[in-house]
């Protein structure tokens, strides 16, 4: 936590985080141009932010894209605020922003969601938690049917609805290291079971299929899990939903692996 406070103490680094908050997934060149900062200065600031786990990176060809990682900031809030206080504080912060900022912008340009979490477990146990129905049911409420080989189809079952579609496939599978698969099909049955509504389903069904990737990396006695959900179009309806859903889901996964108990549903 000390590293986080040190990283946030510098106004230049806070500007970098603000830039990523406004548009995630920027390259070093884009960050330099957008902030009018020297490349060397930006590189040094990014190194400090990465060390504090406030920024995470993903390789895309020759470029390295940078993403804001809010986990350490959430940890600070969790230390001194219970969920009720956080709800009230969030509402007041939203009101303050609405009253003071007349130039609010949306994040419609974002096409990916990236999240990093460190879990006190092993790559083998984490892989099982991502693929074994006995585990996924406990923290996600979802069960999968697949042999988890690249190119194989997979079915989803959630809320009593089984979702099968030829487009639901395993894209990559390297046990204990990397797993990727396409997102499920937005069927009328699923929308009805979840209460999403027909209007939402129609918008979501019109989008191209996205892909979620889990990168598993041992770090000392813990495992670093990077979740990359991408392939969205600007203004994606589904992206807005998964941006809210993944943090809570991964927190429940972490709790289950570290304590044997999943987070209670609110």
- In the chain, domain spans: 2-69, 112-259
How far, in Å, are 34, 119, 234 from residue 106 at the CA level?
17, 32, 11
Write down the pLDDT at residue 95: 46
For residue 78, the model assigns a pLDDT of: 62
The CATH code belonging to domain 2-69 is 1.10.10.10
**Domain 112-259 of CATH type 3.30.530.20:** yes
- Contacts of 156-161 with CB under 8 Å at 24 or more apart are 156/184, 158/190, 158/193, 159/190, 159/193, 159/194, 160/193, 161/187, 161/189, 161/190, 161/193
**pLDDT tens digits, 74-120:** 666 666 655 545 545 544 454 444 444 433 333 334 788 888 888 99
Regions in the chain scoring below 70 on pLDDT: 74-109, 263-266
Q: Over the stretch 37-67, which tens digit does the pLDDT of each residue have?
A: 888 889 999 999 988 888 988 887 788 889 8
pLDDT at 215: 95
Q: Enter the pTM of the model.
A: 0.66
Whole-number pLDDT of residue 263 = 65
Distance CA 79, CA 99 (A): 28
Place of tokens 């690249």: 150
Q: Work out the angle between the directed axes of helices 11-22 and 28-35 (0-180°, nearest 10).
A: 110
The predicted pLDDT at position 46 comes to 92
| pLDDT (0 to 100) of residue 99 | 45
What is the number of other CB atoms lying within 10 angstroms of the CB of residue 140?
Answer: 20
């Amino acid at each position: 936590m000390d590293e986080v406070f040190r990283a946030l103490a510098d106004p230049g680094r806070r500007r970098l985080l603000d830039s990523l908050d406004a548009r995630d997934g920027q390259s070093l060149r884009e960050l330099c141009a957008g902030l009018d900062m020297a490349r060397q200065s930006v590189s040094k600031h990014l190194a400090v932010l990465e060390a504090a786990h406030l920024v995470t990176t993903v390789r895309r060809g020759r470029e390295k894209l940078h993403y804001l990682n809010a986990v350490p900031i959430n940890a600070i809030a969790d230390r001194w605020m219970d969920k009720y206080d956080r709800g009230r504080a969030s509402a007041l912060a939203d009101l303050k922003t609405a009253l003071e900022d007349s130039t609010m912008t949306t994040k419609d340009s974002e096409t990916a969601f990236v999240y990093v979490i460190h879990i006190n477990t092993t790559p083998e146990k984490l892989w099982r938690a991502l693929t074994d129905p006995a585990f996924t049911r406990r923290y996600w409420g979802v069960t999968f049917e697949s042999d988890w080989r690249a190119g194989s189809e997979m079915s989803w079952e959630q809320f009593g609805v089984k979702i099968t579609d030829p487009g639901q496939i395993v894209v990559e599978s390297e046990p204990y290291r990397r797993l990727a698969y396409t997102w499920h099909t937005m069927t009328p049955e699923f929308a009805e079971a979840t209460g999403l509504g027909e209007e939402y389903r129609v918008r979501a069904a019109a989008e191209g299929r996205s892909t979620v990737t889990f990168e598993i990396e041992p770090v000392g006695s813990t495992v670093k899990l990077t979740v990359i959900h991408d392939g969205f179009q600007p203004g994606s309806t589904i992206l807005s939903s998964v941006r809210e859903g993944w943090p809570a889901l991964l927190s429940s996964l972490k709790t289950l692996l570290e304590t044997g108990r999943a987070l209670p549903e609110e």
